[in-house]
A and B are shown apart, each in its own frame.
Chain A
């Protein structure tokens, strides 16, 4: 499964034997995964499979019990490992400033305008001059077509607009890796396309990405690699098209059949959708 040796490059993120539990409930068991620089990895699977938790461990929003994660030159270790020591604040800041995260529920700061949402971390964490941070923010907003919303408060925006602002907020830190935690599952169907288009553009620019998603056609289109998770473990991983169109594991097969039927989408062996509009139609 690990492909670091195949490519001969240092993975951007290397997850080894990751185990995570909440109280007595196990949520991740022995998860091992490499993400190469520039690679787009989509994690699919039923809710409760541990997709979100995996993402949260990568930027250490969740500490974990065993295993380790090497991320951008830093090592995070499970709390029960012999070599465990609490990651120093500076390390966490460094990891988090280099990893952008986009949440299912957007989590924009409601008391700040769109522009302030985007400039908060660059000014507060990276100590960028305000004017510079604002210029960057406006440029990002331009890229997602929301320049005119700079002075609006988040509650005035649609879900799709909020999520695009949230992506700008993460990108303003100039991250090397982006984590997307089911970025479109809280959106009305007609708003999904705009958000996916922004993510697709990032993928084309070569951004390293790990995304948990329910959008199968999107995963097939944009991801290099698809990881199928079920019941706390990785069941199958491989090139996106392979896993989504001719899965090896029976569990992957039955999951895809169920999801694609629900989505009203084509069967697993149908050709990929041509553009983001077609994804949900």
Chain B
């Protein structure tokens, strides 16, 4: 039987390559998810009924179904329409849409929390609806929801571990492969756990740093 130290030596390269994939998919998908969040939140608060209905339907569909089901629908389900996605593509699309729904809710709460007088002051100065949102409402909304956004980033990174099920060679995929090869699940999954913690750490630090900056004016 191989010793724990040997296992770590043997699999640290594989773990690093897995981490790169995890970070790539998570970063790209989360960036898009945040964009969806801002646009979706604006839509949910828009004075246009169809827009509100569309945004609400999207959020409720994602929140009401299991993550793995969503991933399988995108990767396997779409093949019935002859849409054959690469596992990386499917993983990216899923994580962006999944995270987007939660980001919509986060930003919606933040935007709703910005005082009405702020919008009014901006409009009285002649700012367009777009400028008012971009320069006055959104920055304040983001400041309000920073703690929620930090947890959101962490949750995205952890949720990405599901993409191993469709064959994306992320951290989880590679450590599972290791477990199937040598019977050392505790060491290998322990390595995965350490990798996730190390990847999440800078995210929470970044969040704390931004919260301190925002505290200057809040």
Contact = CB atoms under 8 A, between A and B. Distances in A.
Interface of A: 59, 61, 89, 92-94, 96-97, 99-101, 103, 105, 107-111, 120-121, 124-125, 153-155, 169-170, 173
- The winner among A93, A99, A100, A121 for most chain B CB atoms within 10 A is A121
Contacts of A154: 217
A142 to B, nearest CB: 21
Interface of B: 115, 117-118, 120-128, 131, 135-136, 139-140, 143, 214, 216-218
A161 to B, nearest CB: 15
19 contacts: A61-B123, A89-B128, A92-B126, A94-B126, A97-B125, A97-B126, A103-B124, A105-B117, A107-B118, A107-B120, A109-B122, A109-B140, A120-B127, A121-B126, A121-B127, A125-B126, A153-B217, A173-B125, A173-B126
A154 B217 CA distance: 7
B140 A125 contact: no
Contacts of A170: 124-125
Given A103-B117, A153-B216, A110 B125 contact: no
Contacts of A101: 121, 124
A93 B126 contact: yes
A93 B128 contact: yes
Given A105-B117, A111-B217, A124 B123 contact: no
A92 B128 CA distance: 9
Contacts of B139: 111
Given A125-B131, A153-B216, A109 B118 contact: yes
Interface of B is mostly: helix
Nearest to A89: B128
Given A103-B121, A120-B135, A111 B140 contact: yes
Q: Which of B123, B126, B216, B218 has the most C-beta atoms of chain A within 10 angstroms of its own C-beta?
A: B126
The residue in B117, B124, B126 that gathers the most chain A C-beta atoms within 10 A of its C-beta is B124
Contact of A125 (B115, B117, B121, B125): B125
A61 B120 contact: yes
B124 A96 contact: yes
Nearest to A98: B126
Given A153-B217, A154-B217, A155-B218, A124 B135 contact: yes
Please name the 3 residue pairs, one residue from A and one from B, whose CB atoms are nearest each other, closest first. A107-B121, A121-B125, A153-B217
A29 B163 CA distance: 64
A217 B123 CA distance: 32
Given A110-B217, A111-B217, A59 B124 contact: yes
Question: Could you say which of B118, B122, B125, B140 has the most chain A C-beta atoms within 10 Å of its C-beta?
Answer: B125
Contacts of B216: 153
A154 B121 CA distance: 14
B83 to A, nearest CB: 41
Given A97-B126, A109-B136, A153-B216, A124 B121 contact: no
A96 B139 CA distance: 23
A170 B125 CA distance: 7
B128 A111 contact: no
A100 B126 CA distance: 9
Given A61-B123, A111-B140, 8 more contacts: A61-B120, A61-B124, A96-B125, A103-B120, A111-B217, A124-B131, A125-B126, A153-B217
Contacts of B218: 110, 155
Contacts of B115: 107
Nearest to A122: B125
Nearest to B132: A124
A107 B117 contact: yes
